């Protein structure tokens, strides 16, 4: 028989299986010798009080054999007559391809960037030589922005689709099974490239195609229907079902759609800075004075407030992480953050951003779909100039920023291309800087110790989500005016992270499969 048990245990016993077995036996009034296996179904940490606890949902096997499920991906033989073309090999594109294979449809992916291995060399060039390859960087290449991301897999979009399947596929391709049970699943940047490569190998083995260094450069539309796509400015490819999953940084795609009169719209997004603290400090704040405790994960935080009518919040917080240079073009700087699976770097970083609506920037914003994108570009360019026209970022200590004082010196941070001491009030628009200052002061009171001059701000954090939307029909998921075009994932405005992009990719394929079947 299999019993369910919900128990709460003191945090220090989380790795003590004998303690957990005794607690479960007491809870279910069983003899310990009768318990053949305990499977964790859900695990969450409750550190709100000093008495830190783990909540565990368990399946307890009594005189029953446990069989571990290791395989979750079951492709069908592909029917060569049924094909879906996918632009972009990020989470949206890859999960679309995997789902197509499960439905017996052949996916053909075209990706502007390189495979994960070759891509790594281009990342090294950003770090060491300040050279940004516009087709191969932290956002572009196999696995998209997801490959060298932090790999946090939480999502608020469970209603949008099958998030459980997405997690199971990550496990199938090499992620730790813990992601299926942890309240805040995380893979880590060191593990993601191998998983992405395994996904690609399976897509090809199951009958799909993946083409790197193949950039979508034009579209042929006839009578409001997609007919063909152009790759690398030279080859035309007939295509009447296209999933466009090019991510939030493919600015040339937004321009192409605009030129071809395919409707796009300005979309709200968020912009600010990436802050870095010592991880020990964040642990002490969140764990009531504790740090470096092997039974507790490096602590995180989530902060949100309203300042003068606009939302200000922490974004993509990375405990034990690294601040990463995420520009996709030469004359810009952009930051983001990641962490390895063990989250064992001495720093914690997080985006600190202000939510911007198109109407904050322009009254008649409906007339200009690029209003948010242009604002994003201007800030990234201003920071690049202020940083010395390299990939060094303008940076400032936290209290110096609030006081409008250039920092006399800057501590070492995890950001490898280097820092330049700048008063960020001179590069961030006042609408952003002033609200961040007020929010920091408020959060300093809420989390004593958080507001410190040992924390460093890196500017800007600007690629939080897409500043442009490619509108689609809610029912068919096709573009509102162009048949056969399926705007998908974060770049289209329908996802805000790895999981929601993955689920959106699967959803688009299901709609196309229905259409093919009809």
Ligand X SMILES: Cc1cc2nc3c(=O)[nH]c(=O)nc-3n(C[C@H](O)[C@H](O)[C@H](O)COP(=O)(O)OP(=O)(O)OC[C@H]3O[C@@H](n4cnc5c(N)ncnc54)[C@H](O)[C@@H]3O)c2cc1C
Can you give the binding site for ligand X, defined by CB under 6 A? 87-93, 110-113, 138-141, 144-146, 148-152, 215-216, 245-247, 250, 253, 316, 324, 326, 336, 338, 489-491, 495, 497-499, 501
Using CA atoms, how far apart are residues 430 and 310, in angstroms rounded to an integer?
Answer: 13
Spatial distance between the Cα atoms of 193 and 151, rounded to a whole number of angstroms: 11
Query: Nearer Cβ to ligand X, position 146 or 208?
Result: 146
Question: CA-to-CA distance for 513 and 424, rounded, in angstroms?
Answer: 50
Three-state DSSP string of 71-139: CCCCCCCCEEEEEEEEECCCHHHHHHHHHHHHCCEEEEEECCCCCHHHHHHHHHHHHHHCCCECCECCC
Nearer to ligand X, 48 or 211 (CB): 211
If the CB atoms of residues 58 and 262 are measured against ligand X, the closer one turns out to be 262
Q: How far is the CB of 147 from ligand X (least distance, A)?
A: 8
Exposure of 52 in the CB half-sphere (CA atoms within 13 A): 20
How near is the Cβ of 236 to ligand X at its closest, in Å? 14
User: Closer to ligand X at the Cβ: 188 or 394?
Assistant: 188
Q: How far is the CB of 429 from ligand X (least distance, A)?
A: 23
Least separation in angstroms between residue 321's CB and ligand X is 9
| Nearest-approach distance from CB 142 to ligand X, in angstroms | 7
Phi, psi (degrees; rounded to nearest 5) at 98: -60, -45
246/407 with CB nearer ligand X: 246
3-state secondary structure 251-310: HHHHHHHHHCCCCCEECCEEEEEEEEEEHHHHHHHHCCCCCCCCCCCCCCCCCEEEECCE
Rounded CA gap, 102 and 206, in Å? Answer: 9
Closest CB 188 distance from ligand X, rounded Å: 9
Q: Nearest approach, Cβ of 125 to ligand X (angstroms)?
A: 16
Beta strands in 398-498 (DSSP E): 419-421, 456-461, 468-469, 485-487
The DSSP bridge pattern shows strands 79-87 and 105-110 to be parallel
* Closer to ligand X by Cβ: residue 316 or 436: 316
Toward ligand X, which CB reaches closer, 333 or 495?
Answer: 495
């Amino acid at each position: 028989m299999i019993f369910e048990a919900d128990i709460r245990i003191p945090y220090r016993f989380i790795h003590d299986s004998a303690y957990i077995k005794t607690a479960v036996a007491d809870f279910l009034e069983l003899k310990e010798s009768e318990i053949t296996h305990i499977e964790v179904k859900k695990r969450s940490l409750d550190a709100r009080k000093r008495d830190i606890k783990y909540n565990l949902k368990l399946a307890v096997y009594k005189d029953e054999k446990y069989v571990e499920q290791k395989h979750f991906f079951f492709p069908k033989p592909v029917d060569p007559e049924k094909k879906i073309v996918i632009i972009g090999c990020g989470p949206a594109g890859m999960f679309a391809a995997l789902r197509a294979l499960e439905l017996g449809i052949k996916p053909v992916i075209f990706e502007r960037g390189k495979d994960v291995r070759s891509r790594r060399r281009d990342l090294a060039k950003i770090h060491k030589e300040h050279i940004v390859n516009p087709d191969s960087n932290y956002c572009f290449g196999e696995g998209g922005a997801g490959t060298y991301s932090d790999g946090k897999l939480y999502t608020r979009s469970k209603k949008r689709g099958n998030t459980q399947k997405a997690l199971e596929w990550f496990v199938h391709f090499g992620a730790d099974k813990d992601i299926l049970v942890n309240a805040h699943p995380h893979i880590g940047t060191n593990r993601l490239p191998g998983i992405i490569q395994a996904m690609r190998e399976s897509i090809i083995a199951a009958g799909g195609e993946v083409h790197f260094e193949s950039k979508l450069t034009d579209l042929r539309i006839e009578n409001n229907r997609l007919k063909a796509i152009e790759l690398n400015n030279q080859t035309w490819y007939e295509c009447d079902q296209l999933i466009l999953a090019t991510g939030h940084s493919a600015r040339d795609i937004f321009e192409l759609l605009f030129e071809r009169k395919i409707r796009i719209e300005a979309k709200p997004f968020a912009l600010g800075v990436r802050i870095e603290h010592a991880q020990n400090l964040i642990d002490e704040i969140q764990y009531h004075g504790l740090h470096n405790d092997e039974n507790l994960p490096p602590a995180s935080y989530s902060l949100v407030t309203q300042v003068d009518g606009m939302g200000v919040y922490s974004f993509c917080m990375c405990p034990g992480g690294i601040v990463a240079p995420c520009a996709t073009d030469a004359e810009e700087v952009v930051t983001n953050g990641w962490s390895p699976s063990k989250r064992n770097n001495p720093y914690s970083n997080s985006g600190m951003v202000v939510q911007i609506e198109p109407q904050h920037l322009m009254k008649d914003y409906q007339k200009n779909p690029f209003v948010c994108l242009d604002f994003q570009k201007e800030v990234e360019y201003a920071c690049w100039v202020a940083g010395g026209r390299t990939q060094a970022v303008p940076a400032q200590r936290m209290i110096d920023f609030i006081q409008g004082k250039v920092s006399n010196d800057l501590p070492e941070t995890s950001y490898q291309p280097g820092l330049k001491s700048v008063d960020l009030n001179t590069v961030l628009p006042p609408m952003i800087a002033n609200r961040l200052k007020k929010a920091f002061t408020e959060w300093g009171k809420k989390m004593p110790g958080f507001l410190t001059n040992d924390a460093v701000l890196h500017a800007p954090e600007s690629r939080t989500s897409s500043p442009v939307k490619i509108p689609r029909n809610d029912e068919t998921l096709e573009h509102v005016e162009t048949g056969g075009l399926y705007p998908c994932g974060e770049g289209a405005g329908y996802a805000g992270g790895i999981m929601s992009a993955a689920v959106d990719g699967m959803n688009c394929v299901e709609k196309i499969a229905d259409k093919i079947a009809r």
